[in-house]
Amino acid sequence: MKTASAIALALGVLLAVAAPALAPAQTDCLACHGDMTLQDASGHSVGVDAHTFAASLHGSLPCTACHTTIKEYPHPEKVTPVECQSCHADQATGLAGSVHAKASAQPCLSCHGNAHAIFSKDDPRSAVYPLNIPRTCGSCHGDPALAKKYGLANVYSLYMDSIHGFALSREGLLVAANCQSCHGSHHILSHTNPQSPTSKSNVPKTCGGCHAGIAAGYAFGVHGKAVAAGNLKAPVCTDCHTAHAILQPTEAAFRMQSTPICGSCHQDKLSTYRDTFHSQLGGLGGYVQTARCWDCHGAHEILPASDPRSPVNHANLVKTCGRCHAGANLSFVQYQPHANARDRKLNPALYFIRLFMNLLLIGTLTFFVIHTILWLIRSRYSQIKTRSAEGGKNG
């Protein structure tokens, strides 16, 4: 009994002596800050949910590990902001060079959420868990006012309606591309910066990070080779698929929008395609089965027609056309899907047939329009004459 009280006394003395030198333990802080209704002088909540904090990534750290300027109790009314970079130096460096460097007073918390409820990015409770990222980024990038202010597209809604957005939000697919899959996380750069994974020359590599097979085919095709050679006029993934509103390519909407995209560069091919049945039938909503550019040319591994591996190489046409036109033979594939009836040198037969049909149309109509107009005038004239002779209303 005597021994026990002696130890207790010794401990008490030791604690009393040591206390001013040691930082306050979590429990000491939570004695006040555990009250969720606690507010500072300016009305900001300074309460901490002790349970959530204990479960969070930083739960094992003492409060002063982050709130480094607090040395004693009672602490001053004004405390300096927490500096995450004292531990997370790499991320802070990345952020400082990114488009978000000046985006917010507390840039870390903008994305990572409540400072006392930070979880691992693999934890569904985390604001940066893959399935939560679009909503986190969307809290700013889904705001039309902000989009307008910075001249950005309202990318959140575009993304959420895209094939990636569907996979993520509807299927909960963790591997579906979310914002940071393409843009990165801390060191996010403008697509105009050549270092950015979303800069035009880097797009094939960025998308290829998941779509490796497509990327290999693309690199093999004319567009991929041109981009690799530094010709940035050639299309990369996003030029055809768009960056955020990416659709399932078999979807009607994509089949409808894609031809003009190819045509924005291949204007002469688009105008001749427009003259054909494929386009006339396919140009209207609802009927999307008719051949679009890539149905014949391929989508990613596009090769010149002179290449024997190209689906539009003469040796492969029976097979390529036959995919839609059952029974296509060698004569059938002589059909020219880009014939130009206005070009006498290129398609003389077609040119003269069109000329004949036009002359027939213009000739017939011109003759009969004159004939009919003369007839109308003469009929009306004799009608009035007859009526006036009879003392009618025109008399």
Binding site for another protein (CB under 8 A): 274-277, 279-287, 325-329, 331-336, 339, 341, 347, 349-350, 353-354, 357-358, 360-361, 364-365, 368-369, 371-372, 374-380, 383
Cβ closest to another protein, residue 150 vs residue 332: 332
Cβ closest to another protein, residue 129 vs residue 351: 351
Sign, Cα dihedral of 145, 244, 225, 298: negative
**Rounded least distance, CB 381 to another protein, Å:** 8
- Residue 124 tokens read as 């569904």
Cβ closest to another protein, residue 78 vs residue 393: 393
Strand partners, 39: 45
* Element (DSSP H or E) covering residue 380: helix 348-389
Cβ closest to another protein, residue 9 vs residue 374: 374
**Rounded least distance, CB 394 to another protein, Å:** 12
Query: Quick check: 296 and 311 in contact, CB under 8 A?
Result: yes
**Rounded least distance, CB 283 to another protein, Å:** 4
How would you classify residue 151: left for phi > 0, otherwise alpha for psi between -120 and 50, otherwise beta?
left
Strand partners, 385: none
- Residue 285 tokens read as 């909503």
Cβ closest to another protein, residue 276 vs residue 313: 276
Cβ closest to another protein, residue 71 vs residue 371: 371
Q: How far apart are CA 74 and CA 122, in angstroms?
A: 38
**Rounded least distance, CB 379 to another protein, Å:** 4
Cβ closest to another protein, residue 84 vs residue 333: 333
Q: How far apart are CA 294 and CA 282, in angstroms?
A: 14
**Rounded least distance, CB 175 to another protein, Å:** 35
Cβ closest to another protein, residue 50 vs residue 305: 305
Question: 45: helix, coil or strand?
Answer: strand
**Rounded least distance, CB 304 to another protein, Å:** 21
**Rounded least distance, CB 337 to another protein, Å:** 9
- Exposed, middle or buried, 290 (CB in 10 Å: 0-12/13-18/19+)? middle
Check whether the bond before 74 is cis (ω within 30° of 0).
Answer: yes
Q: How far apart are CA 152 and CA 149, in angstroms?
A: 8
**Rounded least distance, CB 169 to another protein, Å:** 29
Helix axes 267-274, 252-263, angle to 10 degrees: 130
Q: How far apart are CA 75 and CA 23, in angstroms?
A: 11
Cβ closest to another protein, residue 96 vs residue 350: 350
Strand partners, 45: 39
**Rounded least distance, CB 272 to another protein, Å:** 10
- Residue 200 tokens read as 């035009």
Cβ closest to another protein, residue 207 vs residue 291: 291
Q: How far apart are CA 188 and CA 106, in angstroms?
A: 16
CA trace torsion 145, 99, 194, 218 (10° rounding): -60
DSSP assignment, residue 43? S
Q: How far apart are CA 256 and CA 227, in angstroms?
A: 26
**Rounded least distance, CB 190 to another protein, Å:** 36
What 161-164 contacts at long range (C-beta under 8 Å, 24+ apart), as own/partner pairs, is 161/245, 162/244, 162/245, 162/246, 162/247, 163/246, 163/247, 163/248, 164/246
- Residue 390 tokens read as 């009879």
